[in-house]
Amino acid sequence: MSKTTIHQEVLEANAAYAGNFGDKGKLPMPPGRRFAVLTCMDARLDPAKFAGLSEGDAHVIRNAGGRASDDAIRSLVISYKLLGTKEFFVIHHRDCGMLTFNNSIISDLLSKSLESAVVD
């Protein structure tokens, strides 16, 4: 599938979604069900489906491995302190791709493919 085809498909899907969004744009910013989900970015997972969510229900934070990284914790703190969530769910899954490598492998890949910057 070409990059242009994917781009066009995403634009068309977004137009259809926006066209059917209706009154959802008037939903309040705080999540209606007062919880947040931290889960893996694995494309095989659909948090809305596995947690029974609709727009406005919950905050969903996704990253590789569903880990409570500094950025995920920042999002959870904002969700709790500023937007009223009361519960967090950290959801992992079977056959996670993060189990197939470690930080050393990623570091090695990056050091071979990215130039290091030096700030004087």
So what's the pLDDT on residue 99? 87
Closest CA to 58 of 85, 40, 82: 85
Residue 63 CB: number of other CB atoms within 10 A? 16
Do you know the residue count of the chain? 120
Per-residue pLDDT of the chain (120 residues; tens, 9 = 90+): 677 799 999 999 999 999 999 999 999 999 999 999 999 999 999 999 999 999 999 999 999 999 999 999 999 999 999 999 999 999 999 999 888 888 888 888 888 877 666 676
Rounded to whole angstroms, what are the CA distances from 108 to 64, 101, 118? 18, 11, 19
Residue 69 CB: number of other CB atoms within 10 A? 14
Q: pTM of the prediction?
A: 0.82
So what's the pLDDT on residue 46? 97
So what's the pLDDT on residue 78? 98
Show the tokens assigned to 112.
């071979």
61, burial (CB in 10 Å: exposed 0-12, middle 13-18, buried 19+)? buried
How far the first Cα of the chain sits from its last, in Å, is 44
Q: Please give the CATH topology (third level) of the domain spanning 29-95.
A: Beta-carbonic Anhydrase; Chain A (3.40.1050)
